[in-house]
Structures are given as structure tokens and as C-alpha cells.
Structure 1
Amino acid sequence: MSVENTIVGLWQALSDRNWELLKTYVSDDCIYLDMPVGPAAAAKGPEDIVKRLKIGLEPLASYENFPGLLVSSGPDAMYEHHEEWHWPTGESAVLKFVTVHRVENGKATLWKDYWDMGALTNHAPASWLSDFATADMSWVFDATGLV
């Protein structure tokens, strides 16, 4: 599978919140991190990456990723896209992303999301950040020095 097909498939699975399919697009040692949070709160491997993603996305009434510019060079790719988040309480947010991926053997081995944390926290319900305090954090992997 090409780098481009892997990335498009990964993001479509995420947009559909098809967690089992998403796992098939990431390697067992894939490192995922939100760059605004930093490498000390990364996730590693399909199971923990999905645990991490579910914290933010599972409670949403709707979530959709909208494709954008995808540029690749060998195994590395940059993907400019945006997401729309809608909470059951009526709040919504549009998040603009640039994601850096490395793809090897048809699977993402690195996934770094660059986005504006304020674009989310300024529009999320007040309870959104406090919900993280009670979330399963067993996924946390310190990738400092690895990415």
C-alpha cells in the first residue's frame, strides 16, 4: 500500500471512528502525539493510540475529518486537513491540522499532530478538560528524545 493510500485510509477510519480499522493502519511500535501537549504524553502502538484518541473523540455527538493537501517524500508525509467536533451539549469547534506521518510497509510508524489547542479549548464545553482528569491514562508513553 502506498504512503498516500495508508494516510487517506487511516484518516477515513478515524473520521468514521472505526477503531478496529484504524488499528490496522498503525504499526505495533507507532508513536502518536499531539505536539501542543508534547512528547511526554504520547501513545505507542495501536491499542494505546486508540485509547488516547477515544478520550477526545468518543464523547462527541459527531466528528468528521475533512481531507486537504497531502505531500509525501519517500516514507514521510505532511497532511494539511481539518476536523469538525460537535458535542452533545451543542458546542462545536473547527480544528485545523498539519499532521506529519512516517509510513513503512503500509503502516504509520509515526503520527504527529500540530494544531492550535486554543481553537479547541475556547469552543469545548467547560467539562471537556476536566473529563481528562478521570480518563484512562494507561496509554501515556514518554517519547521524549524519540521524536
Structure 2
Amino acid sequence: MTVVPAPADTVLGLWRALSDRDWDAVAPFLADGCIYLDVPFGPALAARGPADIVARLKVGLEELSSYRNHDGLIVADGDDVTYEHSETWTWTTGEVAELPFVTVHRVRDGQITLWKDYWDSTTLMNNAPPSWMDDLLSADTSWVYDATGQI
């Protein structure tokens, strides 16, 4: 018999793997049809499925010299988990951004089926190096999924 972890444990496991930028460990937490959305950018720039979500995450996080997630309040209501936390982004050029987040996850059968990040994009843009936005604009966007009307 397989023991399915509590939804909050699944979410915390995902964030531990993400904080380590262990992409191989992130993917199994995500259901095949999982939708990931950075709320400030809207549903037309979502990602869907483990491979595309990991590709999306790598766009922002892979080139950082350091990335850390800092635990905060986690509240579970059945399959829905709300996680208040923060992240520290450090670029190779020395800039540092401290980003407060609220993340909403839906978890079914031990995997995340919906992941929405709520954060202030101005905080990130005001602390990122000037070249960072150019790097984002030239990044691979094959992961883009239009989730309009689905979340």
C-alpha cells in the first residue's frame, strides 16, 4: 500500500527541492497536467506539466549565484494549501532581492495540480541587474501555456 503524503508535506517537499534548485527532484511533485502561474504575469504566460514548469522556473532561477526559499506560514484546507514564504535571489553581479510570496497549491494524490505564485514584480525588477530583463526577453519560451479561463 502506498502512503500518500499530506498536501502540506507535498508542498514543503516541492519547495525544499526548489530551494536546492534540484530540478530532477522538483518534477515528481508536479502532476502531468499541473498548471504553474506567476500571477503578476497573467494566465497567458503560464506553464503546464512538469517538464515545462521546470523549464519556466529555470528561466528565472538557474543563472542566479544563489537562491533560497525561507519557510513561513502554511495553511491547508483539504487539497488546497496556502504558503506564505519569501525568497532571496542573488545574482552573479552581486545584486540581491528579497521577495515576499504567497503561493497557492492544489494537491491531489500526493502531486501538485495547480501552483499560483502571488508576488510584487516591482520588488524583483528594482533589485535585479540591468541586463536581467534583456536576458528574460531572450530566454526560451517554448514552455508558455495559455491557461486563460482554466484557473
TM-score band (shorter)?
over 0.9
Matched position secondary structure for 2:127 = coil
Shift >4 Å, 4+ stretches: none
Sequence identity, in percent?
A: 58
The residue aligned with 1:94 is 98
Cα distance in 1 for residues equivalent to 2:79 and 2:49: 18
Paired with 1:133 and 1:15, the residues of 2 have a C-alpha distance of 24
Matches of 2:6 and 2:134, distance apart in 1:
40
- Equivalent residues in 2 for 1:99-114, closer than 5 Å: 99-114=103-118
One-letter amino acid of the counterpart of residue 79, structure 1: Y
Where do 5+ consecutive residues of structure 1 fail to align? none
Corresponding residue of 1:30: 34
2:56 is aligned to 52
Provide the TM-score with structure 2 as the length reference. Answer: 0.97
- State the Cα RMSD in Å: 0.4
The CA deviation string for residues 11-59 of structure 1, in whole angstroms up to 9 with x for no partner, is 0000000000000100000000100000000000000000000000001
2:68 to 43, 49, 64: 64
The aligned residue for residue 84 of structure 2 is: 80
Total equivalences in the alignment:
147
Q: How far, CA to CA, are the matches of 1:131 and 1:101 in structure 2?
A: 28
Kindly provide the amino acid, as one letter, of the partner of residue 32 in structure 1: Y
